[in-house]
Amino acid sequence: MEYTTLGRTGLRVSRLCLGTMNFGPLTPEADSYAIMDKALELGINFFDTANVYGWKQYEGYTEQIIGRWLAQGGRRREQIVLATKVYHAMGDSPNERWLSAYNIRQSCEGSLRRLQTDHIDLYQMHHVDRKTPWEEIWQAMEVLVQQGKIIYVGSSNFAGLHIAQAQSAAANRHFLGLVSEQSLYNLRTRTIELEVIPACRTYGLGLIPYSPLAGGLLGGALQKATEGRRSNERAQQQVEKHRPQLEAYEGLCGELGEKPADVALAWMLHNPVVTSPIIGPRTMEQLTGSLRALEIKLSSETLTRLNEIWPGPGGEAPEAYAW
Does 227 have pLDDT greater than 60? no
Q: 233 vs 238, which has greater pLDDT?
A: 238
Q: What local confidence, expressed as pLDDT, does residue 226 receive?
A: 56
Which of these, 14, 27, 88, lies nearest to 282 by C-alpha position? 27
Average pLDDT on 13-39 reads: 97
pLDDT of residue 236: 85
* Contacts by residues 238-242 (CB-CB < 8 Å, ≥ 24 positions apart): 242/188, 242/217
* CA pair distance 20, 35, nearest whole angstrom: 10
Query: How many angstroms from the chain centroid is the CA of residue 208?
Result: 5
Among the listed residues 223, 280, 216, the one whose alpha carbon sits nearest the alpha carbon of residue 50: 280
Q: Tens digits of per-residue pLDDT, 145-175?
A: 999 999 999 999 999 999 999 999 999 999 9
pLDDT at 223: 84
| CB-CB contact of 108 with 83 (8 Å) | no
Complete DSSP assignment for 80-143:
-EEEEEE-S--SSSTTSSTT-HHHHHHHHHHHHHHHT-S-EEEEEESS--TTS-HHHHHHHHHH
Any idea which residues carry the catalytic annotation?
53
Q: What percent of the chain has pLDDT over 90?
A: 94
State the Cα–Cα distance between residues 236 and 300, nearest whole angstrom.
Answer: 32
Q: What is the pLDDT of residues 107-129, one digit of tens each?
A: 999 999 999 999 999 999 999 99
Residue 224 has pLDDT above 80, yes or no: no
Identity of residue 71: A
What pLDDT is recorded for position 298? 97
Indicate whether 229 pLDDT > 60.
no
Annotated domain spans of the chain: 3-309
122 neighbors 151 (Cβ within 8 angstroms): yes
Q: How many CA atoms lie within 13 A of 166 on its CB side?
A: 32
- Dump pLDDT digits (tens) for 50-95: 999 998 888 999 999 999 999 999 999 999 999 999 999 999 999 9
Q: What is the pLDDT of residue 225?
A: 63
Q: With a cut of 50, say whether residue 280 has pLDDT above it.
A: yes
- Model confidence over 239-267: pLDDT tens digits? 999 999 999 999 999 999 999 999 999 99
Q: Name the pLDDT band for 228 (thresholds 50, 70, 90).
A: very low
- Taking the C-alpha atoms of residue 19 and residue 148, their distance in angstroms, rounded to an integer, is 24
CA angle 191, 50, 101 (to 5 degrees): 95
Whether the per-residue pLDDT at 275 is higher than 80: the answer is yes
For the chain, how far is it from start to end, CA to CA, in angstroms? 42
Amino acid residing at 56: K
Mean pLDDT value across residues 125-146: 98
- Quote the CA–CA distance of 310 and 242 in Å, as a whole number: 10
| Chain segment 260-271, per-residue pLDDT in tens | 999 999 999 999
The domain at 3-309 falls in which architecture?
Answer: Alpha-Beta Barrel (3.20)
Helix axes 61-70, 101-115, angle to 10 degrees: 50
In this prediction the pTM is 0.96
Q: Is the dihedral of CA 123, 127, 128, 130 positive or negative?
A: negative
